[in-house]
Amino acid sequence: MIRLRNVTKRFGGLLAVDDVTLDVKEGETLVLLGTSGCGKTTTLKLINRLEELTAGTIEVAGTNIQQQKPEDLRRKMGYVIQGAGLFPHYTVQENIAVVPRLLHWSKEKIDKRTHEVLELLRISPQQYLSKYPHELSGGQQQRVGLARALISDPPVILMDEPFGALDPITRISIRREFKNIEALRHKTKVLVTHDVLEAFELGDRICLMDNGKIQQLGTTQELVFRPANEFVMRFLQDHLFQLQLQVLQLHQLRPYLPAVSPANATDAIVFPESESVLEAIQILTATGAPQQSLTLEANTETPPQAATVADLMAAVEQLTPSLRA
Amino acid sequence: MNDIQDFWDFLQLQGDKLLEQTLEHISLTFISLALAILIGLPVGLLITRYKKGVGPAFGITGILQTIPSIALLGFLIPVLGIGPKPAIFALFLYSLLPIIRNAFTGVMQVDAKVKEAARGMGMTDWQLLTRVELPLALPVLFAGIRTAAVLNVGVATLAAYIAAGGLGEFIFGGIALNNTPMILAGAVPAALLAVGIDFLLARLQHLRLPLLRPAALLLFLALPLLSSFYLLPNRSGFQAGLSPEFAGRADGYPGLKATYGLDLNTVIMAPALVYKAVYEGDVDVIDGYSTDGKIKTYSLRVLEDDQNSFPPYHAAFLIREPVLLRHPELREVLEMLSGTINDSTMTALNYHVDFDKAAPAEVAQAFLEQQGLWRPPQNGTGETIQLGSKIFTEQYILTEMLSQLIRGYTNLQVSARTGLGGTKICFDALAAGEIDIYPEYTGTGLQVILNTPQPVADKLSKENDKVFRYVADRFHEQYHILWLPPLGFNNTYALMMREEQAVKLKIRSISDLKEHLAH
C-alpha cells in the first residue's frame, strides 16, 4: 500500500532519514519506533508531504506522491497527532467536518458520517457535538481527533504519537479501545511512537530506527526473539520479559499445555486462541485465585485445553528456545 | 470651582462646535485606522510567509513610530499640503506598526500543533491562513487595533495645527489664549474618546473565540461608518485659515463677526502655516500681523480694517519703574527709537530677517546707522540690564536695537533673553523682575494682560491715544511698569489675501470681503 524506496531527508547538514526502504502492507499496522530524533516522525511526514523528500521515492496505492498536489494527497489520508491538534475555535462538529468540507461534501452527507463515526468511537453526538475542544478531557479530544481522521474513510491513516499527551491510565484504556475499533481494523496504519510497550501492543510489524537508519524491520516476535543487532537488544532489554509474553499468542503454547481436565475447567475463563499470553496472565491474576485456570477455545484441529498461570509460564519457558533459533 | 463653572458655560456656548470637532476627531482616528488595517493586515500576514520581510517591515514602521508627531506633520506638508490629507497620512503611518506587528505575532503564536493538523488534513496555505490562523490571531490583532486607535486619538489633536480640525482646535486655541475652559473643552472629550474606544476594543479583544469572527466582521463594517463623519461638515468654497489664538480672541475673529457680520468658512491651523497655506491656495484668506515680513515674501494684500474692528497694537517698550529710577540715563536711550519705525519700515526689516536670512543684529545695526543713532559699544561695567522678547522676528529685531543703543550710549551691560514663548511668559517674567525691559503692544496690554471688559475695550479701541494712556496708567498703578512712547508702527491683527486674487475680486477692505461673500 505504501512503498518507501531509498528515502533520504536532510535538514541542512543533518541527515534525519538515511536511505530508508520499507513497505506497509494493506490493512497492517506498522509502528515506527525509536528515541526522539531518530527520524521516525520525519519519515511519517514524508509520506503525506509535510516534509519534502531529499532523495528516494514514495508511492501510496501505486502512485508516486510527488505526482500529486500535497493537499489532494493529504485529504486521502487520515492524520492524527499528539494532543489531537483540534482547532480551538471550532466545535467538535466543525472540527470533525474539516476534511469533508475541504472535499466539498454536502451538509447531509457530513452530518450522517459525523454521527456514524462518533458512534463507532462511542462518543455521544448529542452531548459533544456543540462543545469546544477546551471543554473536553484529553482522552475525549484524542477520540475527536481520531473521528476527524476517520470521517472521510481514508484507506491510510498516519498517526504521530497519538496517545502521547495522555496520562498513563487514560492512555492504556484508549489504546485498548483503539485496538478494538472495527472501522480501523482494515485500514493501513503507520504509527509513530517512542513507547516500546505501545509499539508492541498496537503494531503488527515494527520498524525500529536510530540515527535516521532502520535498525530492524520485522514482526513483533522477530524483534523480541531474534534482535538484529546490539542496538535492538539494548533498546528492548528493559521490557524484555513483558514483551515476550506480549508477543506470544496462546495457541503457540498449545503443545506445551496439559490436556483439558473437564473437572477443573468448569469455572474456567474461556479465551480466544489469538489472545496474547500477557493479556491472559493479567486477567487470570486479576481474579486473585492462584489456581484459576483458563480454557482455550477449541478449533477444528485441537480440542480445548486448560491451564493455570503456572502452566502458562512453564509452557513459555519451553517454547522460547525454539523461537530464538 | 470657578473653572468648572466656566467649563460648563463654555460647553453650552460652543456645543455645536464641540460636536463638530468631536465628529471630525473620530473621523480622523478611524479613517487612518481603516487605512492602516487595509495595508497593515496584509503586510503582517504576508511576512508570516516571507520571513525575510519581517526585519524591513518592523524596521521601517518602527522608525516611523519614533518620528515626533509634530515633525512628521511638518515633513508631510510639502508633499500633501495642509488639511486632512497629511493628518490622516501621519496617523496612518503611526498605526501601521501596532497593526503589522500584532497581525504577525497573532499568526505566529497559533499553536504549531494546530497548524500541523490543518496542513496534515489537506488545507492549502490560503485555507490555513483564513480558516485557522487568522481567526485564532484575532484577539492579538484586536489588541493591535486597540493600541493604534488610542494612539490615534491622542495624536489626532495635533491635526488642528495643520487645518485638519478635531478637538485640537479647542486645545491649541485655549493654550494660545490662556483660556482653561477652552483647553478642557478639547482635552476632556479627547480623553473620554480615548478611554471609550479603549474600553470597547478591549471588550472585543476578550470575547470568547466563537464570537470573535462576527465581532471582527462588525468592526470592519463599522470602520467606514465611523470614518464618514468627516464628509459631513461642508468645507468647500471661500475658505479662511485662522491661527488658534485669532480664532478665539475677542478682538480677533469674534470681533470681526460682531463688527462686520463676517461669516467665514474657517479651518484652524498653526500660526506658522497660515501664510504658506494662503500662498499655495489651500485657503483664501488668513489672519496675520500687519508688519509681518511674510506679507512681502508671499505677495499678500492686507485688507483694510475700515470699521476699526482690530484694536490698535502700537509697539512700545515696557520697563520696570525701579530700573528706570536707578538708571535715569536709560530714558533718553529708550526714547531715541520713539516714532522712528512706521508699518512699512517694520515690514521691510522683518522681511530682511525672514526672507533674506539676515541676522537680527545686522538688520538692527543697519537701521540704527541709517538713522544716525548707532554708536560702537562702550564695553561698560555697570549693572546688567535684562532684555526680553517674545518668540517672533520683530521682537528679536527690536530687542537687538535696544541692546545696541544701551551698549553704545551708557555704561550699562546688557543680557538678552529672547524667544520667551508668549505674552504671558514675557509679562510674568517682567513682573517678577527676571527681565527689565521687553517690547509689547498696546492692544495686547489692553486685552490679554489687563483683561479689560469688552465694552470698555471697544470704546477705547476706536482711538489709539486713549488705549495707550489707559494701559500706561493701569500698568503703572497695578504693576509699577512703565510704557515708553510708542515706536511708531501698529502691528495689529490683519486679514490678508493673495494680492492676485484680491485684485481679481476687487477686494480692498474687510467690508469688500463681506460684500463679496454675501453674493
**For position B243, what pLDDT does the model report?**
86
**For position B124, what pLDDT does the model report?**
92
Kindly report the average pLDDT of chain A as a whole number.
87
The answer to whether residues B14 and B136 belong to one domain is yes
Return the percentage of chain A with pLDDT > 90, whole number. Answer: 42
**For position B449, what pLDDT does the model report?**
87
The answer to whether residues B360 and B448 belong to one domain is yes
The answer to whether residues A8 and A148 belong to one domain is yes
**For position A262, what pLDDT does the model report?**
53
Tens of pLDDT, residues A248-262? 988 888 888 777 655
The answer to whether residues A61 and A141 belong to one domain is yes
Tens of pLDDT, residues A39-83? 999 999 999 999 999 999 999 988 999 999 999 999 989 999 887
Nearest by CB to B122, which of A75, A91, A158? A75
Q: Tell me what the mean pLDDT of segment A3-32 comes to.
A: 92
A99 Cα to chain B: minimum distance (Å):
6
**For position A83, what pLDDT does the model report?**
79
What is the DSSP track for A65-79?
GGGS-HHHHHHTEEE
CATH code of residue B204 = 1.10.3720.10
Of A273, A268, A276, A274, residue with least CA distance to A298: A273
Please name the residues in contact with A266: beta carbons below 8 A apart, sequence gap of 6 or more.
none
Mutate: best of A60, A79, A96, A131, partner B, most B CBs <10 A: A79
CATH code of residue B300 = 3.40.190.120
Which segments within B232-374 are labelled E, that is strand? 239-242, 265-268, 285-289, 300-302, 315-320
Of B292, B213, B278, B287, residue with least CA distance to B249: B287
Q: A102 vs B127: CB contact, 8 Å cut-off? A: yes
Residue A57 exposed, middle or buried by CB count within 10 Å (0-12, 13-18, 19+)? middle
In the structure grid, which three cell numbers stand for residue B276, read together? 504658506
Q: B210 vs A71: CB contact, 8 Å cut-off? A: no
CATH code of residue B469 = 3.10.105.10
The answer to whether residues A22 and A41 belong to one domain is yes
CA separation, residue A136 to residues A83, A129, A145, A164, B210 (Å): 12, 11, 12, 17, 16
CATH code of residue A265 = 3.90.1280
- Number of independent structural domains in chain A: 2
Where chain B has pLDDT below 50, the residues are 233
The answer to whether residues B216 and B196 belong to one domain is yes
The answer to whether residues B19 and B167 belong to one domain is yes
What residue numbers bound the domain in which B330 lies?
315-490
Domain end position, chosen among A240, A257, A281: A240
What residue numbers bound the domain in which A188 lies?
2-240
- List the single residue in A with minimal CA-CA distance to B112: A85
The single residue listed with the C-alpha cell 483503539 is: A178
- List the single residue in B with minimal CA-CA distance to A70: B122
The answer to whether residues B377 and B408 belong to one domain is yes
The answer to whether residues B123 and B210 belong to one domain is yes
Nearest by CB to A88, which of B127, B209, B213? B209
Q: Look at A96-105, A275-284, B99-108 and tell me which has the smallest mean pLDDT.
A: A275-284
The answer to whether residues B243 and B173 belong to one domain is no
B91 by DSSP, 3-state: which? helix
- Number of independent structural domains in chain B: 3
The answer to whether residues B479 and B500 belong to one domain is no
The answer to whether residues A174 and A221 belong to one domain is yes
Distance separating the N- and C-terminal Cα atoms of chain B: 47
pLDDT above 70 (res A300) = no
**For position B444, what pLDDT does the model report?**
87
The answer to whether residues B210 and B279 belong to one domain is no
Question: Is residue A265 very low, low, confident or very high in pLDDT (cuts 50, 70, 90)?
Answer: low
**For position A123, what pLDDT does the model report?**
82
Domain end position, chosen among A201, A216, A240: A240
What angle (nearest 5°) sits at the alpha carbon of residue B399, between those of residues B405 and B411? 35
The answer to whether residues A296 and A314 belong to one domain is yes
Question: Is residue A301 very low, low, confident or very high in pLDDT (cuts 50, 70, 90)?
Answer: low
The answer to whether residues A80 and A121 belong to one domain is yes
Domain end position, chosen among B182, B212, B231: B231
The answer to whether residues A178 and A276 belong to one domain is no
CATH code of residue A126 = 3.40.50.300
In the structure grid, which three cell numbers stand for residue B171, read together? 486645545
B54 Cα to chain A: minimum distance (Å):
22
Mutate: best of B110, B121, B123, partner A, most A CBs <10 A: B121
A156 Cα to chain B: minimum distance (Å):
12
pLDDT above 60 (res A264) = no
CA separation, residue B114 to residues A82, B118, B128, B133, B210 (Å): 10, 6, 10, 9, 16
Give the whole-angstrom CA distance, residue B304 versus residue B511.
8
Q: A73 vs B122: CB contact, 8 Å cut-off? A: yes
Give the whole-angstrom CA distance, residue B86 versus residue A281.
83
Nearest by CB to A50, which of B113, B114, B119? B119
Top pLDDT among B228 and A215 is at A215
Instruction: Tell whether the torsion through CA atoms of B14, B16, B19 and B22 is positive or negative.
Output: negative
Residues of A in contact with B213 (CB under 8 A): 89
Question: Is residue A8 very low, low, confident or very high in pLDDT (cuts 50, 70, 90)?
Answer: very high
CA separation, residue B392 to residues A37, A93, B70, B404, B491 (Å): 74, 73, 19, 19, 12
Q: Look at A73-82, A170-179, A182-191, B325-334 and tell me which has the smallest mean pLDDT.
A: A170-179
**For position A267, what pLDDT does the model report?**
67
Compute CA A180 distance to the chain's CA centroid, rounded to the nearest angstrom.
11
Q: Tell me what the mean pLDDT of segment A91-105 comes to.
A: 91
Question: Is residue A168 very low, low, confident or very high in pLDDT (cuts 50, 70, 90)?
Answer: confident
The answer to whether residues B191 and B95 belong to one domain is yes
In the structure grid, which three cell numbers stand for residue A44, read together? 511519517
Of A246, A245, A236, residue with least CA distance to A196: A236
The answer to whether residues A126 and A270 belong to one domain is no
- List the single residue in B with minimal CA-CA distance to A91: B210
The single residue listed with the C-alpha cell 522683518 is: B350
User: What single-letter amino acid sits at A166?
Assistant: L
Domain end position, chosen among A240, A268, A298: A240
Of B8, B454, B514, residue with least CA distance to B252: B454
Q: A75 vs B117: CB contact, 8 Å cut-off? A: no
- List the single residue in A with minimal CA-CA distance to B139: A89
The answer to whether residues B108 and B81 belong to one domain is yes
A159 near A182, Cβ under 8 Å? no
The answer to whether residues A98 and A213 belong to one domain is yes
The answer to whether residues A236 and A252 belong to one domain is no
The answer to whether residues A254 and A216 belong to one domain is no
Please name the residues in contact with B80: beta carbons below 8 A apart, sequence gap of 6 or more.
B86, B89
Of B303, B164, B151, B160, residue with least CA distance to B245: B160
The answer to whether residues B298 and B324 belong to one domain is no
**For position B236, what pLDDT does the model report?**
56
The answer to whether residues A261 and A285 belong to one domain is yes
Q: A48 — contact with chain B (CB < 8 Å)?
A: yes
B228 by DSSP, 3-state: which? helix
